[in-house]
Amino acid sequence: MANKRVSLYIAASLDGFIADELGSVEWLESVDSDGDAGYQAFFDNVDTVVMGRTTYQQIFSLTDTFPYSKKDVYVFSNKKAGSADEYADFVSGNINSWLNEIEGESIWLVGGAELVKQFLKEKAIDKFVITIAPIILGEGIPLFESDHRHHLVLEDVKRFGQFAQLVYRNEE
């Protein structure tokens, strides 16, 4: 697993939510952005995409075209583990075992919150790219739910219109 790098690249509200109480991220569209907030450059440098089942299902409500078709895509799902569809392989189990089994070296952890929690528990996230939207939702799905303290090192801060992007690396 030494050559594998997992990056969490995700947007959150100022109060730390990745989706509203209904699981929607439509509120992100109301924020003025400057370009794609570095998305394309980030995306071009990953070979593998991993997400939870709810996040996977949400993609199909947001777009008509599956955006990750040129990458290896894995979806953690207890219900569908061991199967595949035209876009993704469905997996379950231990995060570190899965990382050791896949061929990809640059992995994007898309979300959602439950999978992020599992990756945090296993200390399997190397880089955190968190794009903060200037909106306070008040309630919703929190970005981080962790039972442990994680020490990070700030690598970069960028502004994209009204978004602030913070880049941290895991120092553990």
Domain presence at residue 79? yes
Domain presence at residue 119? yes
Domain presence at residue 160? no
Q: What integer is the mean pLDDT of 90-102?
A: 94
- Residue carrying the six token digits 């399997």: 124
Residue type at 72 in one-letter notation? D
Is the pTM here over 0.85, yes or no?
yes
Number of compact structural domains in the chain: 1
Res 29: pLDDT? 85
Res 53: pLDDT? 92
Question: HEC profile for 76-136?
Answer: ECCCCCCCECCCCEEECCCHHHHHHHCCCCEEEEEECHHHHHHHHHCCCCCEEEEEEECCC
Query: Which residue range is the domain that position 21 belongs to?
Result: 5-153
Domain presence at residue 167? no
- Average pLDDT of the chain? 91
Out of 20-24, 41-45, 103-107, 109-113, which region has the weakest mean confidence (pLDDT)? Answer: 20-24
Q: What integer is the mean pLDDT of 105-122?
A: 94
Q: Which CATH number covers residue 90?
A: 3.40.430.10
- 107: confidence class by pLDDT, cuts 50, 70, 90: very high
Out of 77-81, 91-95, 167-171, which region has the weakest mean confidence (pLDDT)? Answer: 77-81
Res 2: pLDDT? 55
- 140: confidence class by pLDDT, cuts 50, 70, 90: very high
Domain presence at residue 171? no
Nearest to 162 by CA among 29, 3, 51: 29
Domain presence at residue 172? no
